[in-house]
Amino acid sequence: MSNPARTQPTAKSTRVFLDLTHLGRHVTGIERVSIEQFEKVGFAGADVTAVRANGTLSLIFNQQIRLPWLAWRHRDAKFVFPGFPPSPLFALAKNRVHWYVHDLFLITRRADLGLRAKLYMAPQFAFAVKRLTHFQVNSQKTAAELAPFVTKDAEIRLYRPAVANVFNLTVDGRVERPSNPRPLKIVTLGTVEPRKNYSAGLTILDALAKAGHPAQLHIVGRKGWGAAQDALKDHPSVVIHGYLPTDRVKALIEDADLYLCTSHDEGLGLPLLEAQYAGLGLIAPDKAVFREVLGTSAIFIDPSAPQDAAEKISAHLAHPGWRARSAAAALANIARWNGLAASDATQVRKMFTPHPMPHPAV
């Protein structure tokens, strides 16, 4: 007589605490990644509890005291940090910490940091990268930059974000617009701070005007630090909109002809991908991260050479049907990127899956 099939014992769910203390302010790239890739995601085999904050003091208390206390209280729990670097106390529980690294600017671009970042985030970041062992990153570029700082036994996983149409953009009517608009409407999204290198955008605007393509630059983003905004507000062809609700951002992007990025560096450049849902032609620095993210869908320039940049943009505008080609390239690139992101997600979302419990001895 054969034995009946035995049911595989169920593995116990892994308890996971998710640090969302940095949410609640303006929703920019880091916040969107935290929401879409962690808060809204079901990790297989994980029982996830979100830890939130209400204001700066609450954020500091939760990050520096409550979360480390939870790690001491729940010795088998895992801890996920998709935004700010974890407290130095987590070095005592390093094998239970999973940290999503967006970029290395807190180490590599200290001159561009605001005071809060220099005093609060940068020291914790530098401490954590040298001691933790489980990292997720948003791009191959970030992975390559992170690798020299981490320990030899550290694990770095690609977890590229899928790009959703967060502004509900469409390409409707774009292809039929005039091929030589006057003025040329250019849009860019991002905090007004030194790393975005908006001053290069001004020189490119002036070079375009001399080349016969007068243009306006519309900047959407909250005021950050540094004197960047003071230089921008006096330029007659620049409009600084500040932080806007989604419907206003949608209107500005859909009304634009091109998207311009002049950043010194990015960990990913998520807004560029998001803008491609409108079929916009993109102009970006000729650097590895932008080549990785945009493939062949952009006009690549050197922001420090405005004359050459203007010539490349003018040559793009001189081709008949440039709007249709830009739209097709943009949508194809989103599909390419989201395919890569889906592959990453399949693997990363199993990282808390417990191993099946063994059968008891008989």
Supply the pLDDT for residue 12: 81
pTM tops 0.95: no
Per-residue pLDDT tens over the stretch 303-316: 999 999 999 999 99
Helix (H, G, I), strand (E, B) or coil at 280: coil
Any residues with CB less than 8 A from the CB of 96 and at least 6 apart, and which?
71, 77, 78, 79
Complete DSSP assignment for 334-347: HHHHHHHHHHHHHH
Nearest to 250 by CA among 299, 208, 187: 187
Q: What is residue 1's predicted lDDT score, i.e. its pLDDT?
A: 36
State the 10-residue block means of pLDDT for the chain, 362 residues long.
Answer: 40 91 78 92 94 94 97 97 95 97 94 87 95 97 97 96 96 94 96 92 96 96 78 89 94 98 95 97 97 98 98 96 97 98 95 66 44
**Which parts of 109-155 fold into alpha helices (H)?**
115-116, 122-129, 140-146
94-120 pLDDT tens trace: 999 999 999 999 999 988 888 888 999
| Beta pairing, strands 97-101 & 134-137 | parallel
Q: What is the CA radius of gyration of the chain?
A: 23
Q: What is the pLDDT of residue 356?
A: 57
Can you list the positions of beta strands (E) in 55-214? 78-81, 97-101, 134-137, 155-158, 184-189
Q: What is the mean pLDDT of the chain?
A: 92
Contact assessment for residue 273 and residue 190, using Cβ atoms and an 8 Å cutoff: no
User: Domain 184-334, what architecture?
Assistant: 3-Layer(aba) Sandwich (3.40)
Domain ranges (residues) in the chain = 14-159, 184-334
Does 183 sit behind a cis peptide bond, omega within 30 degrees of 0 on the bond before it?
yes
CATH classification of 14-159 is 3.20.20.70, yes or no?
A: no
Instruction: Identify whether the C-beta of residue 179 lies closer than 8 Å to the C-beta of residue 353.
Output: no
- Which pLDDT score, from 0 to 100, does residue 222 have? 86
Same fold, 14-159 and 184-334: yes
Return the pLDDT at 150. 97
Strand 155-158 relative to strand 97-101, pairing: unpaired
